[in-house]
Amino acid sequence: MSLLNTPFDPAREAALVTGAGNGIGRAIAQALVGEGVRTVFADIREDMVRAAIAASPRPELAVPWVGDLAQREACDALLAAARSAVGQVTHFVHSAAPARREADHVFAVSDETWRQMHAVNLDAGFHLSRELARQLIAAGAPGSFLLLTSLHAGTPRNLPHYSTAKAAMAMLVKELAKSFGRFNIRVNALVPGAIAAGGFVADPALAKHIPLGRLGRSEDLAPMALAVLSNRISAYVTGAAIVVDGGLSLTNWFEPPTFEDI
Ligand SMILES: NC(=O)c1ccc[n+]([C@@H]2O[C@H](COP(=O)([O-])OP(=O)(O)OC[C@H]3O[C@@H](n4cnc5c(N)ncnc54)[C@H](O)[C@@H]3O)[C@@H](O)[C@H]2O)c1
């Protein structure tokens, strides 16, 4: 049996991906069904969920769910819907996040935008993780959770509602990993760099600061997400922050060197 050819056990494993309507969540959800894993595609945008499933390698394994994860009742409805559609969720990916608008700087951001950003990223991430962990512990089953954080968990983004939500999520991953480890539930963070997905409109000039020479794509995140989610590949990985950024985080005020000879 080849390890990398069979990262999941579709007979026992099922997934739930939030933010599956667009960008990174969509790419991860599509990759999971491509591996034969029954997967709930959860998002606030019904049209985007339908399109993401239609473009999936195996749409018959995908289950749509539409709702606003800023609402606690919607999170509970998602848990119930996932359980009845795919049984026990063993693999959870939290990629949902409201739009990041440059106009929402420190003096402009409204209370509602601040609250929504924290509610979707942090509050829903905590509640869904804790409830799924309760279910897994009761079933005596292993699990693997992946929360999308950001380089802006550690450096400002000029969007304080966003960076503070991501910083809190980065610590949440560590808290959950430490508490759930004894139950064989792993929790990790996936840290994208500048990914030209729906949530980030990138200036192409940014590419010159990225050692690998280009902006990222959602598809750059999906293979690493699957590797970290897989209990076969990453059985001993928990509490980690896996950076997939083309080297962007190596950037500082010095330009990369140019060489006359090598
Ligand atoms: N794109 C990047 O460069 C980048 C960089 C660092 C971190 N991230 C993080 O990765 C994740 C995915 O980013 P992306 O660029 O693919 O985002 P995106 O905006 O393209 O996708 C986010 C999805 O979340 C959904 N969503 C928004 N509010 C919701 C709600 N209330 N309930 C349910 N679903 C909701 C949206 O409809 C959308 O489909 C986010 O958590 C983001 O913060 C992205």
Q: Residue 229 domain-assigned?
A: yes
Q: Residue 170 domain-assigned?
A: yes
The pLDDT value given to residue 109 = 98
The residues that bridge with 38 in the sheet, in sequence order, are 14
Q: Which helix (H) or strand (E) holds 115?
A: helix 111-118
* Angle between helical axes of 23-34 and 46-54 (0-180°, round to 10): 40
Alpha-carbon distance 120 to 102, whole Å?
19
Q: Which residues of 67-106 are buried (b: 16+ CB within 10 A; e: fewer)?
A: bebbeeebbeebbebbbebbebbbbbbbbbbbebeeebee
Q: Closest residue (by CA) to atom 17 of ligand 1?
A: 199
Q: Closest residue (by CA) to atom 42 of ligand 1?
A: 97
Q: Residue 73 domain-assigned?
A: yes
Alpha-carbon distance 68 to 186, whole Å?
26
Alpha-carbon distance 214 to 193, whole Å?
11
Q: Residue 2 domain-assigned?
A: no
The residues that bridge with 43 in the sheet, in sequence order, are 66
Print the domain residue range for 85. 14-250
Give the C-alpha distances (Å, rounded to integers) separating 20 from 111, 113, 125, 164, 259.
26, 21, 14, 23, 43
Q: Which helix (H) or strand (E) holds 243?
A: strand 241-244
pLDDT in tens, 203-212: 778 898 899 9
Q: Residue 255 domain-assigned?
A: no
The pLDDT value given to residue 2 = 75
Q: Closest residue (by CA) to atom 27 of ligand 1?
A: 98
The pLDDT value given to residue 262 = 87
What is the pTM for the complete model shown?
A: 0.97
Residues 6+ apart with CB under 8 A from 108: none
Q: Residue 201 domain-assigned?
A: yes
Sign, CA torsion 171/175/178/183: negative
Report CA(261)–ligand 1 centroid distance (Å). 43
Instruction: From 116, 195, 210, 215, give the residue whose CB has the most ligand 1 atoms within 8 Å, as the site to mutate.
Output: 195
Whole-angstrom Cα Rg for the chain: 18
Alpha-carbon distance 5 to 112, whole Å?
45
Counted domains in the chain: 1
Is residue 75 within 8 Å of 128, Cβ to Cβ? yes
The pLDDT value given to residue 33 = 98
Hey, is 255 helix, strand or coil?
coil
The pLDDT value given to residue 1 = 63
The pLDDT value given to residue 4 = 82
Instruction: From 18, 44, 75, give the residue whose CB has the most ligand 1 atoms within 8 Å, as the site to mutate.
Output: 44
The pLDDT value given to residue 3 = 73
DSSP 15: E
Q: Residue 7 domain-assigned?
A: no
| Residues within 6 Å of ligand 1 by CB | 19, 21-25, 43-45, 48, 68-70, 95-99, 120, 148, 150, 192, 194-195, 197-200
Which ranges of the chain have pLDDT less than 50?
none
Q: Residue 257 domain-assigned?
A: no
pLDDT in tens, 47-99: 999 999 999 999 999 999 999 999 999 999 999 999 999 999 999 999 999 99
The pLDDT value given to residue 199 = 66
Supply the CATH number for residue 151's domain: 3.40.50.720
Is residue 159 within 8 Å of 105, Cβ to Cβ? yes
Q: Strand ranges (DSSP E) for 62-114?
A: 62-66, 91-94
Measured distance between the N- and C-terminal CA atoms of the chain, rounded to whole angstroms: 43
